Copies of this chain bind each other. A is one copy, B any other.
Amino acid sequence: MRSHTYYHWFETSKKRDYIRITDMVSEQLDKSGIKEGFCLVSAMHITAGVYINDAESGLIEDIDGWLKDLAPESPNYRHHKTGETNGDAHLKNLLVGHQVIVPVTDGKLDLGPWQQVYYAEFDGMRKKKMIIKIIGE
């Protein structure tokens, strides 16, 4: 079994942002030389997500609005008693999920035609880390 590990730092200019990372993941797979296996893409922070969906700007706005409805910003989170202000971002992380596994087949990310890997920042404008880890042969 072989493995390949890569860390990427984001620092978004906006508080919330949605960044397509399929090409970055694919590039790491090429570097790994792995032909059959699993590729984990996982946020290493608890106020960011990783998901797979469509690269369509209208939909991304829909997702952002939907997350604001279901996990709203509010001054009333108990978490804010610690001095934090990002309670909503923790809930958005739980809603969307912080990781995906992309299957690797014949040396390629085995994604459907519209599946794109996204990093979703919910509490940005500071350095945040993500891991891409591939195991296989």
Tell whether, in the assembled complex, residue B103 and residue A40 are in contact, meaning their CB atoms are under 8 Å apart.
yes
Tell whether, in the assembled complex, residue A91 and residue B110 are in contact, meaning their CB atoms are under 8 Å apart.
no
In the complex, the count of this chain's copies comes to: 3
- Seen from chain A, the residues whose Cβ lies within 8 Å of a Cβ on chain B are 1, 3, 5, 36-38, 40, 42-46, 51-54, 56-59, 61-63, 66, 70-71, 77-82, 87, 90-91, 93-101, 103, 105, 110-112, 114-115, 129, 131, 133, 135-137
Tell whether, in the assembled complex, residue B137 and residue A1 are in contact, meaning their CB atoms are under 8 Å apart.
yes
Apart from A38-B40, A58-B78, A66-B71: 9 A-B pairs, beta carbons within 8 A: A5-B36, A5-B110, A42-B103, A45-B114, A58-B77, A59-B90, A99-B101, A110-B131, A110-B133
